[in-house]
A = this chain, B = another copy of it.
């Protein structure tokens, strides 16, 4: 019997980390053939060129697609999506996959969904059923309505996808594959590399051995004019800390210029002594860094997801992760420097939380591959009510 061809489209650095264990499991599954498409900001230096990491990890791209229109504003986000639909349609047409996998809820993921669904290729959606604010919220649920098979990350998400009118047999909680990576590294007792030595970055050379914070804050699409203001609140807050801080550059999104601009200006003017900036890091090393940190600050989904399993305290700022299922390790604060500062300071003196399995037990990749290999693949459905 010929192997099922599974086409996975990775359009950004964070999506890669989130799907990596599934990619490995698909690649190694005897009944599956992986067709990996690398597209969007995953190809761009400005956003950490995930393609490099992906290929270093031993994956080979079946196709690459440049599709990000410059401007980082709502208009270019929409056009980027249109370009993605055109290009990915062509890619699928020529690759002829048996199923296409679209990941989560970034704005351009709907391009993958349309290109597959309209060509009658069974569409598998990973990480549907969650809730956030902004355009992601619309995109995620639209992806659900275009998809035929839903591999979700939590029981709560499963319930929600079923409520959206999907056939319960087509909605399976595999847990989140990002937890698989966490599981891999979560027994390591010490940070086994020197982040500054290994990854360079810019800013002061910090002594992080006695505890450090990690910051990752993305712009929130529908408020992109405020991105600069928001990032400055966080910068001011963590700059007052007595502890060293590792700060990660945001990924592409409308408004990242506001955010990036804020960071650059702050660096030039304030020359913060306790902050070191990184553009990107190998996903596993990033998890190691998180695991051994005192606190993660910002609005990254890693705080909600990976840190729940690790039990690392999280100071979650603003509305970006609103209503995402979260563990006890998360403290929510608004974009106010004082509140941020207090919350971060507290976490330095608090104990670690026990890990939680609300996002899975760390075996999602294998479960996903097995389902893709064995479940019936169809491309036609009607709403259940």
Evaluate contact between A142 and B137: CB separation under 8 angstroms.
no
From B75, B114, B134, B381, A82 is in contact (CB under 8 Å) with: B114
Nearest B-chain residue to A129, judged by Cβ: B383
Question: How many copies of this chain are found per oligomer?
Answer: 4
**Chain B residues with CB below 8 A from A81, complex form:** 85, 114, 118
- Residue A205 at the chain B interface, CB threshold 8 Å: no
**Chain B residues with CB below 8 A from A79, complex form:** 66, 83, 85-86, 89-90
| Shortest beta-carbon distance from A284 to chain B in Å | 27
**Chain B residues with CB below 8 A from A379, complex form:** 222
**Chain B residues with CB below 8 A from A107, complex form:** 118
- Residue A354 at the chain B interface, CB threshold 8 Å: no
**Chain B residues with CB below 8 A from A66, complex form:** 69-71, 75-76, 79, 90, 93
**Chain B residues with CB below 8 A from A138, complex form:** 117, 145-146, 381
- Residue A231 at the chain B interface, CB threshold 8 Å: no
| Shortest beta-carbon distance from A144 to chain B in Å | 7
**Chain B residues with CB below 8 A from A83, complex form:** 69, 79, 82-83, 86
| Shortest beta-carbon distance from A162 to chain B in Å | 11
| Shortest beta-carbon distance from A347 to chain B in Å | 27
- Residue A164 at the chain B interface, CB threshold 8 Å: yes
**Chain B residues with CB below 8 A from A257, complex form:** 45
- Residue A270 at the chain B interface, CB threshold 8 Å: no
| Shortest beta-carbon distance from A106 to chain B in Å | 12
**Chain B residues with CB below 8 A from A380, complex form:** 133-134, 222
**Chain B residues with CB below 8 A from A210, complex form:** none
Evaluate contact between B94 and A89: CB separation under 8 angstroms.
no
Nearest B-chain residue to A75, judged by Cβ: B93
> A interface, how many residues as a size bin?
35 or more
Which has the most chain B C-beta neighbours within 10 Å: A46, A142, A164, A165? A142
| Shortest beta-carbon distance from A45 to chain B in Å | 6
From B43, B64, B133, B165, A94 is in contact (CB under 8 Å) with: B64
- Residue A374 at the chain B interface, CB threshold 8 Å: no
- Residue A63 at the chain B interface, CB threshold 8 Å: yes
- Residue A377 at the chain B interface, CB threshold 8 Å: no
From B45, B133, B137, B160, A385 is in contact (CB under 8 Å) with: B160
Known interface pairs A82-B114, A118-B135; A141-B383 also in contact (CB < 8 Å)? yes
**Chain B residues with CB below 8 A from A77, complex form:** 118-119
A54-69 with Cβ < 8 A to chain B:
63-69
**Chain B residues with CB below 8 A from A322, complex form:** 382
| In the bound complex, CA of A65 to CA of B71 (Å) | 11
From B94, B114, B268, B383, A137 is in contact (CB under 8 Å) with: B383
Known interface pairs A70-B46, A119-B75; A383-B146 also in contact (CB < 8 Å)? no
**Chain B residues with CB below 8 A from A141, complex form:** 145, 165, 383
Which has the most chain B C-beta neighbours within 10 Å: A133, A134, A165? A165
**Chain B residues with CB below 8 A from A68, complex form:** 69-71
- Residue A163 at the chain B interface, CB threshold 8 Å: yes
- Residue A312 at the chain B interface, CB threshold 8 Å: no
| In the bound complex, CA of A59 to CA of B90 (Å) | 20
Q: 10 A-B Cβ contacts within 8 A?
A: A68-B69, A78-B89, A81-B85, A82-B82, A83-B83, A107-B118, A110-B114, A120-B222, A133-B380, A222-B380
What 5 A-B pairs have minimum CB-CB distances, sorted nearest first?
A82-B85, A82-B86, A78-B118, A141-B145, A78-B89
Q: 12 other contacts beyond A68-B71, A82-B83, A117-B135, with CB at 8 A cut-off?
A: A46-B70, A69-B70, A70-B70, A78-B114, A82-B85, A86-B87, A110-B114, A120-B222, A142-B142, A160-B383, A164-B165, A202-B268
